[in-house]
Amino acid sequence: MTTPRRPRDRAEHHSTAGPPTASPPSAAPGDGSPPGPRLAAHLLANLRHDLPSSLVVFLVAVPLSLGIAAASGAPLMAGLLSAAVGGVVAGALGGAPLQVTGPAAGLTVVVADLVTRFGWAATAGITAVAGLVQLLLGVTRVGRAALSLSPAVVHGMLAGIGAVIAVSQLHIVLGGQPQSSVLANLRDLPAQLVGHHDAAALVGAVTIVLMLVWPRLPVVAAVPAPLAAVATATVLAAALDLDLPRVALPDDLLSGLTRPELPDAPPTAIVVAVLTIAAVASVESLLSAVAVDRLHDGPRADLDRELVAQGAANLAVGALGGLPVTGVIVRSSANVNAGARTRMSAILHGLWITLFVVTLTSLLERIPLSALAAVLVVIGVRLVNLAHMRLLWRHREFAVYATTFLGVVLLDLMKGVLLGIAVAVLLALYRLTHTTIRAEDHGDQGWRLVLRGSLVFLSVGRLVRELRRIPDGRRVLVEPHVDFMDHAAFEALHEWRLGYTRRGGLVVVEEVQDTWYERAARGRPEQRRSLPDLSPRWFAPWSHWQRLHEEPSAAAAPPERNGPERNGPDPMLLGLHEFERRCAPLVRPFLAELAARQRPTQLFLTCADSRVVPNLITTSGPGDLFCVRNIGNLVPRADDGDDSVGAAVEYAVDVLGVTTLVVCGHSDCGAMKAVLGGPPPGDSHLAGWLRHAQPSLIRFHDNGLPPVRGAGAAERPRLERLCVANVVQQLDNLRTYPVVRRAVEDGRLGLIGMYFDISEARVYLVDQDTGALAPVEDLATS
């Protein structure tokens, strides 16, 4: 049986050691590097996919590389050099075969700042050293650590970079020049907008419109939007003979290469610059690799190997005088969507750029700089992703995002990221130490103090305030649902308990999750945070928790159902698997004690309705209830000749020695609906069984029991009243059994009627004389 393809989990499938395995030519995208004579055959088999996809990525990369170089204040040749060399080196060595490397918008702000402070040659030297740092990080296998950075910080950083790029490049689109700071650019922008606009503004506006509209045109959408926009702007500028600043490349391409050098600056400034380039490039590359993994079904990225490849690429481009490079999601997604199968596509794209620069330099020099700036404006705006904002708002992480964004825009990249990390750490610390402390007055039942979370010294003030609200002389139930309790919190709670008891009160501490208070009171406090077992899912129906996104991994999933009516694992088998995984370790100690003998105290007779779960509504466990279930929770009279129910009753009373017999009816009972509607036609087993319910119907008509309390009583009074009358009748039927009658007369056995309202999830006690209902709390507190 074929099962639907399941999304892969990032943490489960990313490798951190060894190269990715090769996939066969017809398989999903993969590394594609079998050794020996098979290599040529493998490459040729995938070349029909990789060749066209490499051309698509090449067409995307050229305008982006030129625009990023212009926005960074670097020589335009450096952008093309980085795209070519970075694509080949990282493509050949990378751990994410389908990722494409090149100059990235995320580094534009950093590079522009370094060029302003140190000059271009020193920036190239910093890039080379940053590549060495990346190599070291990859070799030491800490690549995955970059993914531990809060997504809110990463998205805030990229959004801040995008805002800086968009604002600065908008000045170029409008025919002006950007200032050195974002605030200055924002200050001058209104005057730039209302001032005289030359031909640059026309070309830029056309480029922006095409960037936005082109992907929505189904006929031509296969052509990359940046290429279409820049090509159209170039043709327009040439056709109108517009006098515009254009791309300028050296006549001798080799003379355009810059020899890198270290900046003449304090060592601290150099170290900070190197680490900034290495950190931003590494994080962006690894996040891009993870995003690319979601686009295909091939082997997952080896993040450490990818970091080594990115380091080698930056070392190479820095040594040749190029821009720093990263894995770029725009190019990589275009690569996957175009059908790439192996790393050869990324390598070929770098070769096409080299060939294009060598042979068609004159064509590049016709591109208006305002068109490249317009492309960067759109890319910068898209980095400010509203979907990310909404998601972070729902996850209550927006404060981290906003802090990082504002820090990058108003201060600089490093300060903004550090501020974002600081807010993320403070937020995590608050969540880890936040405790819910609630004291509630339950009237005659006393007070209830509920503690949830981690109870540490930071919460002692709130704890003391809640404790002082409780008046003296009452019964207080303390429920610490905590995963940690430090000495300060224990001392505050314990001293209050001792003093409250001396003043005539009663304090009961009931620990469910862990016994932090009890161990500390015995002088053996726990030092480590408790890690409770995973909670079982017995309280939720299969349809609630057996979702596609919560399916077990393929390796751990139970067998599939063999029937043709359903694809995927049977819900029952998934439930059994869940029991063995989560619940069995919790109940195994209790079942071990009961393995030789059961000792229930209750016979619980209820309907076979799937919505009635006896152990759930009674909060009971193994060995508590001896259950009898049938349609309509019926007990045939002793003289009716039904051996099944009679045998269970006699066994429970005489052999097991139960002390209580419970008959539990419920709302919306199908059996009672059938009884109200008349006996089922024919002589079926169901019709024969429901004849045992006729005394309940007679009692209902004769006595006119009061309506059931709760939701829906007004709409369904007859059915609900019959359900209650049926409970009373079955209690009478139980008394027809001699074994029950004797045990009741001897005081060894009690009979209880219950009614479960499904819509309310509430249990009522049924008065055996009047059929009136009372909340179950009346019995629990009597």
Three-state secondary structure string covering 311-328: HHHHHHHHHCCCCCCEEC
Can you list the positions of beta strands (E) in 195-292?
none
pLDDT of res. 456: 86
Of the ranges 11-15, 25-29, 209-213, the best mean pLDDT one: 209-213
Q: Are residues 608 and 590 in the same domain?
A: no
**Residue 415, domain member (yes or no):** no
Sign of the alpha-carbon torsion through 96, 98, 99, 100: positive
Helix, coil or strand: residue 41: helix
Among candidate residues 669, 699, 721, 757, the one labeled active-site is 669
Q: Tell me the HSE value of 297 on the side-chain side, using a 13 A CA sphere.
A: 8
Among the residue ranges 205-219, 290-304, 449-463, the one predicted with the least confidence is: 290-304
Domain assignment of residue 178, yes or no? yes
Helix, strand, or coil here: 449?
Answer: strand
Residues 496 and 551 in one domain: no
Cα 164 to Cα 169: distance, rounded to the nearest angstrom: 9
CATH of the domain at 704: 3.40.1050.10
Catalytic pick among 304, 497, 607, 699: 607
Q: Is 607 annotated as a binding residue?
A: yes
Radius of gyration of the chain (CA): 37
**Percent residues over pLDDT 70 in the chain:** 84
Across 255-264, 387-396, 556-565, 677-686, which has the greatest mean pLDDT?
Answer: 387-396
**Averaged over 90-96, what is the pLDDT?**
93
Residue 430 lies in a domain: no
Local confidence band at 408 (pLDDT 50, 70, 90 cut-offs) = confident
The Cβ of residue 427 has, within 10 Å, a number of other Cβ atoms equal to: 17
C-alpha angle 477-478-479 in degrees, rounded to nearest 5 = 115
Q: Which of 462, 494, 521 is the last residue of a domain?
A: 521
pLDDT over threshold 50, residue 549: no
Of 666, 685, 680, 695, the closest CA to residue 753 belongs to 666
- Order of all β-strands in the sheet with 475-485: 435-441, 447-455, 475-485, 506-509
Q: With beta carbons less than 8 A apart as the criterion, state whether 184 and 203 touch.
A: no
The whole-angstrom separation of Cα 666 and Cα 727 is: 9
Mean pLDDT, rounded, for 330-349: 87
Top-ranked range on mean pLDDT: pick from 252-256, 333-337, 448-452: 448-452
Same domain, 93 and 204: yes
What is the crossing angle of helices 413-433 and 267-293, to 10°? 60
Q: Are residues 213 and 234 in the same domain?
A: yes
Is residue 285 a contact partner of residue 314, using CB atoms and an 8 Å limit?
no
* Mean pLDDT, residues 372-394: 89
Q: What is the pLDDT of residue 645?
A: 94
How far is Cα 450 from Cα 452, in angstroms, rounded to an integer?
Answer: 7
Pairwise pLDDT comparison (148 vs 396), residue with the higher score: 396
pLDDT of 552 above 80? no
Q: Given the DSSP bridges, would you call strands 602-607 and 625-630 parallel, antiparallel or unpaired?
A: parallel
The residue out of 551, 580, 596 marking a domain boundary is 596
Statement to judge: residues 389 and 509 lie in one domain: no
Would you state the pLDDT for residue 704? 57
- Residue in this structure with the two tokens 């007859």, named with its chain if needed: 718
Burial class (CB in 10 A: 0-12, 13-18, 19+), 729: buried
Judge contact between 225 and 210, C-beta under 8 A: yes
Q: pLDDT-based confidence at 564, cuts 50/70/90?
A: very low
Is residue 149 included in any domain, yes or no? yes
The answer to whether 664 is a known ligand-binding residue is no
Question: 671 and 768: one domain?
Answer: yes
Domain with 95 in it: 31-410
The CA–CA distances, whole Å, from 442 to 439, 518, 520 equal 10, 25, 28
Told to judge if 701 belongs to the known catalytic residues of this protein, a careful annotator would answer no
Considering only 306-320, 554-568, 678-692, 733-747, which range has the smallest mean pLDDT? 554-568
Confirm if 310 and 272 have CB atoms less than 8 A apart.
no
Mean local confidence (pLDDT), 341-346: 90
Looking at the fold, whether 375 and 516 belong to one and the same domain comes out as no
Contact status, residue 739 vs residue 654, Cβ threshold 8 Å? yes
What are the φ and ψ backbone dihedral angles of 770, each rounded to 5 degrees? -105, -20
Identify the pLDDT of residue 146. 66
Mean pLDDT of the chain: 83
The CA dihedral of 393, 396, 401, 402, to the nearest 10 degrees, is 80
pLDDT at residue 2 above 50? no
Which of the residue ranges 550-564, 572-586, 646-660 would you say has the lowest mean pLDDT?
Answer: 550-564
Return the residue matching tokens 């029952």. 572
In angstroms, the Cα distances linking 484 to 452, 454, 490, 764 are 10, 5, 10, 37
Average confidence (pLDDT) over 752-768: 92
Amino acid found at 510? E
723 included as an active-site residue:
no
CA 511 – CA 241 distance, rounded (Å):
83
Residue 745 has pLDDT above 90, yes or no: yes
Q: Looking at mean pLDDT, say which of 46-60, 122-136, 370-384, 498-512 comes out highest.
A: 122-136
pLDDT-derived band at 122, boundaries 50, 70, 90: very high
Same domain as 493, residue 453: yes
For the chain, percent of residues with pLDDT exceeding 90: 39
**Is 237's pLDDT higher than 70?**
yes
Nearest by Cα to 696 from 659, 721, 666, 667: 721
Rounded mean pLDDT, 421-441: 88
Q: Where does the pLDDT of residue 28 fall: very low under 50, low under 70, confident under 90, or very high at 90 and above?
A: very low
Per annotation, catalytic residue among 38, 395, 611, 742: 611
* Residue 5, domain member (yes or no): no
Q: Tell me the CB-side half-sphere exposure of residue 521, using CA atoms within 13 A.
A: 12
Copy the structure tokens of residue 86.
């970075």
- State yes or no: pLDDT of 715 exceeds 60: no
- Say what the pLDDT of residue 196 is: 62
Domain annotation covers residue 528 = no
pLDDT of amino acid 527: 65
Q: Where are the alpha helices (DSSP H) in 320-366?
A: 329-337, 344-359, 361-364
503, with CB counted inside 10 A (0-12, 13-18, 19+), is exposed
199: in domain: yes
The two tokens of residue 370 are 């305002």
Q: How confident is the model at residue 86 (pLDDT cuts 50, 70, 90)?
A: very high
Say if residue 669 carries a ligand binding annotation.
yes
Q: For this structure, is 583 an active site residue?
A: no
Q: Is residue 8 part of a domain?
A: no
Average pLDDT over residues 423-445: 87
Of 631, 657, 656, 649, the closest CA to residue 734 belongs to 649
- The per-residue pLDDT for 20 is 37
Assigned token pair, 772: 């009136």
Helix (H), strand (E) counts: the chain:
32, 12
Query: In whole angstroms, what is the distance from residue 711 CA to residue 421 CA?
Result: 50
Query: Tokens 């610490």 identify what position?
Result: 480
- pLDDT the model gives residue 24: 37
Active site annotation includes 607: yes
For the chain, how far is it from start to end, CA to CA, in angstroms? Answer: 58
129 against 53, higher pLDDT: 129
pLDDT at position 713, please? 42
Same structural domain, 630 and 483? no
Question: How confident is the model over 676-696, as a mean pLDDT?
Answer: 85
Active-site residue, from 31, 113, 486, 609: 609
Same domain as 332, residue 246: yes
- In this prediction, residue 32 carries a pLDDT of 44
> What pLDDT was estimated at residue 522?
82
Angle at which helices 386-394 and 398-410 cross, to 10°: 140
Q: Is 609 annotated as a binding residue?
A: yes
Same domain, 453 and 326: no
Helix boundaries (H) for 561-712: 571-578, 584-594, 614-617, 643-650, 670-676, 685-690, 694-703
Establish whether 609 is a catalytic residue. Answer: yes
Residue recorded with tokens 């949830």? 452
Indicate which residue of 171, 388, 497, 666 is catalytic.
Answer: 666
Task: Name the strand (E) or helix (H) holding 666.
Answer: strand 660-666
Please indicate, yes or no, whether residues 113 and 257 belong to a single structural domain of this protein: yes
For residues 168 and 176, give the distance between their C-alpha atoms in angstroms, rounded to a whole number: 10
| pLDDT-derived band at 173, boundaries 50, 70, 90 | confident
Q: Are 95 and 306 in contact (CB under 8 A)?
A: yes
Tell whether the model's pLDDT for residue 714 goes beyond 60: no
**Number of domains comprising the chain:** 4
d(CA 157, CA 401): 8
